[in-house]
Amino acid sequence: MASRGDSADVLRALTATVGAWGAANVVGGIALAMAGKGPGASAFGQQCAAWGAVNLAIAGVGHWRSRHSAVAAPRLRRILLVNAALDVGYLAAGAALIASTSGRDDTSASTRRGHGTAVIAQGAALLAIDSGFARRLATSD
């Protein structure tokens, strides 16, 4: 298992990654929400901006905590694995939202597809981040 110093390095890298992902989503999401061509693109942008804001907040708290207290590698890994399971749930929720519009081609369906597609994109990216950092904390024999 990673040492306590290693977990601090991993936590710093994790918060930087989540913070960068969040910032990119806020900026890109707002731009797309405002200038998107159609309700689906605007909904996608709104959803990304909202997720980005939450990710920035999480990264900020994680950064603050990493400077003020140590997090043991096993605990951080458990948190990341729980988050990865939630990320799979986000993928399913986004897919269900898109599926609920089957056979419809109105503004409401387009908006729901935009939101659903963004939830899938966020879930996929966060799954890659969470599982990747959990793997870094795994036992290396």
pLDDT at res. 139: 61
pLDDT at 140 over 70: no
Q: Where are the beta strands (DSSP E) in the chain?
A: none
pLDDT at res. 58: 94
Per-residue pLDDT tens digits for 64-76: 887 877 788 899 9
127 or 10: which carries more pLDDT confidence?
A: 127
pLDDT at res. 39: 94
What's the CA dihedral at 122, 128, 132, 138 to 10 degrees? 90
Collect contacts of 44-49 with beta carbons under 8 A, ≥24 apart. 44/114, 44/115, 44/117, 44/118, 45/118, 46/115, 46/118, 47/114, 47/115, 47/118, 47/119, 47/122, 48/118, 48/121, 48/122, 49/25
pLDDT at 6 over 80: no
Per-residue pLDDT tens digits for 90-111: 999 999 999 999 888 788 999 9
